[in-house]
A and B are shown apart, each in its own frame.
Chain A
């Protein structure tokens, strides 16, 4: 296929996220060294999805009569998926609290601590994020706000913390680095920006994008990679099924928490035991996502309606 891990030194416009995506895939459960061809394929899929979203957002922006793509248009694309809206909601809350803490740390010497700790004031150098306001706007029946606190999720977080305590140092280093990958450029504190992301999806500068829109797009890109890896593990379970034995699909146990497999029923040795995701598996995942027998193109309809092209993996 196309170029593999190109180091960015001499490439003309060779912006790629292959290292980040490779780390992300490991974070989601793939082998610590994912297959290079697979990473290239995943990168091209994410790029294509983001560009389609951009085009749709531009369409909505024109309908509203604005010249710049803001985060309103991108969140509008996600309006039907309440779980993702809720996650974006929590994401913003988290980011806000992190920024507030950093602002406090940065300005601690100037003695403005007491003033900043009030709820309403924000770091003055940054424009206020308004994803939560937009979500509240779009959510007419308050479904997003009513999604309750998830006990099971909380217990899982506790378990994850416990498991990372028993990992050795090198494994933890790699694991931690994988967990920290994202589509944002590295920067310090408040300087985190999306320059690389913007150059990647909007290299011809055809659309004007706001920073808030780029933030939501980076969130969606992350979700796309996550959904792809998740779907691959579902397919692997399907492949392992044997008739008559409903627990046979769990053999190998590569989908679930590797540290919980320490009872000797399933042979495993942590993340290194997972075989790398292949190109064929990703192709099968894409085939199933875009199969012509569901939705508006499903039973009894004859012409392929346009909603196949606007189906997004992450939304």
Chain B
């Protein structure tokens, strides 16, 4: 039974949501430690520090809250070097503790009591210390993102959403055609953060919501100058779509078509020129602009990395 997809394209819809001030969670700031060993801080790039410093927004997506665990020791370890193992001397009355296997087996009650002290009764169903067993219910109802309040469920965290394209896609099965809607949504505050997301569902609204959540997961920052334009030209491609972006003098406005224009507008860029060069597919062009924007660097960053004053870059 072969399954084929048939698409019918619809006109793009425009929706807008209200914006409120955002709260950002800042991740790890590495603290300095005193090492008794000298490690050469070679310019080798650190381990892809997952606790990297671009701010992430939390909506209904659960994200890890490991903001102050300092793993910076392992970022600068150069494995080629000679590592010296020189532990601090033990205190005088040091007795090595028993292994976890030895020693008497704790009773279930003791274990349950200890866990409950630390974490509360959570999902265990028993409460040795007399706490409320259903404590997690109230917390879960608040944070569940798939709740059925679809009518007034608008995630208020300062991001505007705009639907670029809603298409009805079909999967042909033995019994007939199965219809789904695929929505491409671009999410952004007008201050340099944008995200592109796709979502598919059997209803248009559900698809739009899914794509909004997906868009909030992949947000990038657009480097902008003080005249709200790009620092330099760039090209980006994704799939068969290629997009060229060019800065413009103030007063020009955003001169670009379709998906590219929406991405730039939601990012807050005021003056830019953009052209879709190869394919005209909306989703791929939106992703290609994101790629193009990620390739851009601010002049100050380049000057700092190269170690020369900024004036040299303009010669």
Are A and B genuine complex partners?
no
Task: Give me the interface of A with B, judged by CB distance under 8 Å.
Answer: none
Interface residues, chain B, with chain A CB atoms under 8 Å away: none
